[in-house]
A and B are shown apart, each in its own frame.
Chain A
Amino acid sequence: MMSDAANVIFVPRDEHGLLVGSLDHLLSDQALIKGGWRPLWQQLAQAGILSAALPESDGGLHDSRALALLAERLGRSGVVSPFISSATAATSLFSRVPAASRFVELRERLGSGSVIAAMDIPGVVQSDRSLMTLTGGKVSGVARLVPFGAEADFIILVATASEGDPALVLVRKSDVLIQQSVIGIDGAPYATLRLDSVALQPESDLAGGSEAERLIAWGRDVLVTMHCAEALGAMSMLVDLTRDYLTVRHQFGEPLSAFQVLRHRLVDMDMALTEARSVVECAAGLLEEDDVFARRQAVLATHFTVARAALKVSQDSVQLHGGIGMADETPVGGYFRRLLTLPLQFGDEDFCAESYSG
């Protein structure tokens, strides 16, 4: 029996625990994790992790709070995968677009891990506005540094139609030219994609006009929130690693944990993590809501809080580890680099501060 309280933010639901449990089980396999995201992907599909974003009728949970929990665990594991774009934002979008039944099969393939989707939705940063145009049913332009853009089978893009209206479009791998394919500071692949007069097929026109505007805003909020959830996982790992290190490392005949300044630094890190968790859970809980303003404010506050916390926690983790924190063979640096991608992809906290009260 499910009580009404289960829909209240901060109160966990039983099914979330089950799913998170099976993900944790997978991620405890160190050998699997070391192999990068590809071998993990099929396992995620089999465990039902990739279909969590599907509607309940398709065997999913249709619950962003569950997705945020999964993103967090993946963030904690340190594996960078297309989970956020493919299994949360894109999969959810395909059941929200007009005539969503067009995408039953695609959703199923995303859930089974047989295809992956990338997404390029302009962030809050003005300068990252879409460089894609839609004229006479044809899409042209460039999408810069799309995460997993070269690996994806499908890419969701925002284009500007001739009347200035936004359009949400879906293109296939075969439609795009990979202009530049790079490895990012986090070790993940990014690709700059070019489209030259790609004719839109009926199923590639996801939404236009005000419908597109609504979905773009929503998609951006999902991407940012899930990225923040992932960052939360990475930060939780850094706080744990640092706490453990302070107890085992000795200098001057004492554990580092005996030095008050380090104790206080750790507390500040943990406090930042605690606040980050509160805002992420709140934003994830509001993603399904129709109250666009409340959702937007919650996502901005989350982005702001997590961006600040991520810098603080990653910088202090390295500092409190001393020299060993700089070595690539310890896990600290990998999390440090991944945490940098939140402000790089979606803008730093200044952008949020500017927009919040406006």
Chain B
Amino acid sequence: MARLFTIEEDVFRLTVRKFLDDKLPADLRERMLSGERPTRDDKVTWSRLLHERGWGGYTWPAEHGGPGFTPIQRYIFEDEAWQAGAPEVVPFGLKMVAPVIMKFGSDAHKQRFLPRIASLEDYWCQGYSEPGSGSDLASLKTRAVRDGDDYLVTGQKIWTTEAHDADWIFCLVRTSAEGRKQDGISFLLIDMKSPGITVRPIITFDGAHEVNEVWFDNVRVPVANRVGEEGQGWTCAKYLLEKERLNFGGMGFCKREVARLKRLAQETGRSRLDNPLFAARVGALEMRIAAADLTNLRFLRAEERGDAVGLPAPYLKILSSHLQQDVLELQVRLLGRSALPVRAADFSNTPLALKSELANVAPTYCNYRKTTIYAGSNEIQRNIAAKSLLG
């Protein structure tokens, strides 16, 4: 019989499921399954649980302290975790800076940083984008000037997710203004407690505080905190962007939110799934998710064999970002008027509390417009894919 997974993989799935059943706190699970966005504490709780199980670096090879999951095991793990209601892991350390350190970092970097990433003792954020350099990242201006054994870093980063929660930031900085702009960029690891760093919140239009401006005013960073050679930052960045785009919890999110959509349809007492038009929208979305999910799996099987198939990074990023947005849009459509309230009025003589489960639907729909913008906008992804198809 043809099957998607091997027996061993199915057994692995059960192991993961058992772990989630035993360990994931019920309260956390419930909040995540009702669409709440995780707090810093939630993410720490989850990472510590993984760490205790030896899965803190679950995306890492064994030689770096990971469990050495195969690509498919990683997929299964995330699929189960999302659907069980685990919070998303903080990707910046685990999935972004860690692979760069493994590939380009010194032994000292590996020893110092990797264990604290796996346990989430260090919370990381990503300092790439600048006000003038978003899609055109290579034009970045934040300067790092050599001063003895240190660099002095001056400039501004923007849209830095969770900088206000972070202990460390990895940054692309300009160490040379000569030659090709990509060649003057270096990759620095900077302690967020360094004097001269200022973090200012940016509130997004859903009302959330996720992103920030990070200002650097002559911040002293030891040269020892540079990963790779001076001028090799762009190579590190490109390697990392590949990783970033390949790491889409997107599909797990979509499945979880489709399940919630159907539950809400039942609970609102007047199942809109009985309406053929709406049912068709849900059905179409589920089939699109299935097709993207299978595409993801096919890419992973190829990775396992060491083959290159298609354009995994851009396609998965584009597909999963749209699907995430579309499932949230359907939730909004489903709830209609019930999705209007987002909080109790201030002056309120309100005896009834707002049911938070419904109050987060419209804001999350707003918030997830970000998915087609960040991690390389979908337009930039298409440019990359087109270049590879057409030259």
Contacts and interface: CB of A to CB of B under 8 A. Distances in A.
Interface of A: 125-128, 144-145, 150, 178-185, 189-191, 251-253, 259, 261-262, 311, 315, 318-319, 322-323, 325-329, 332-334, 336-337, 340-341, 343-345, 347-348, 350, 353-354
B53 interface: no
21 contacts: A125-B336, A180-B341, A181-B348, A182-B345, A182-B354, A185-B339, A252-B135, A253-B136, A261-B379, A318-B373, A322-B135, A322-B373, A323-B158, A326-B205, A326-B369, A329-B203, A333-B206, A337-B366, A344-B336, A345-B336, A345-B337
Contacts of B203: 327-329
B362 interface: yes
Given A252-B136, A326-B204, A189 B345 contact: yes
- Quick one: which of A182, A333, A337 has the most chain B CB within 10 A? A182
Contact of A328 (B207, B281, B349): B207
Contact of A251 (B134, B341, B370): B134
Contacts of B206: 333
Nearest to A182: B341
A354 B377 CA distance: 36
B389 to A, nearest CB: 15
B362 A340 contact: yes
A53 B91 CA distance: 56
B352 A341 contact: no
B39 interface: no
A353 B275 CA distance: 12
Nearest to A262: B379
B202 interface: yes
Given A185-B340, A327-B204, 11 more contacts: A179-B352, A180-B352, A182-B341, A183-B341, A184-B340, A261-B382, A319-B372, A332-B205, A350-B275, A350-B278, A350-B333
Interface of B: 129, 133-136, 139, 158-159, 202-207, 211, 268, 270, 272, 275, 277-278, 281, 325, 329, 332-333, 335-352, 354, 362-363, 365-366, 369-370, 372-374, 377-379, 382
A185 B362 contact: yes
A185 B342 contact: yes
A145 B337 contact: yes
A180 B369 contact: no
A306 to B, nearest CB: 15
B342 A183 contact: yes
A181 B349 contact: yes
A350 B337 CA distance: 15
A57 B154 CA distance: 69
Contacts of B338: 145
A307 to B, nearest CB: 10
Contact of A336 (B336, B352, B366, B370): B366
A184 B348 contact: no
Contact of A319 (B350, B352, B373): B373
Contact of A343 (B134, B139, B333): B333
B128 to A, nearest CB: 11
Contacts of A315: 325, 369
B277 A353 contact: yes
Contact of A185 (B336, B349, B366): B366
Given A180-B350, A185-B363, A323 B134 contact: yes
CB-CB nearest 7 A-B residue pairs? A333-B205, A182-B341, A251-B136, A185-B362, A181-B345, A184-B340, A350-B277
A182 to B, nearest CB: 4
B382 to A, nearest CB: 7
Contacts of A340: 332, 362, 365-366
A181 B350 contact: yes
Contacts of A253: 136
A129 to B, nearest CB: 10
Contact of A333 (B134, B211, B366): B366
A324 to B, nearest CB: 9
Contacts of B207: 328
A144 B374 CA distance: 37
Contacts of A179: 351-352
B382 A323 contact: no
A251 B377 CA distance: 13
Given A182-B341, A189-B345, A322-B377, A334 B205 contact: yes
A261 B341 CA distance: 36
Contacts of B129: 323
Contacts of B349: 178, 181
A325 B159 CA distance: 12
A334 B206 CA distance: 9
B327 to A, nearest CB: 14
Contacts of B346: 183
B341 A184 contact: yes
A190 B344 contact: no
A312 B338 CA distance: 22
A344 B362 contact: yes
Contacts of B362: 185, 337, 340, 344
A345 B338 CA distance: 9
Contact of B339 (A189, A323, A344): A344
Contacts of A334: 205
B164 to A, nearest CB: 16
Contacts of A127: 268, 270, 272, 336
Nearest to B379: A261
Given A182-B345, A327-B204, A144 B369 contact: no
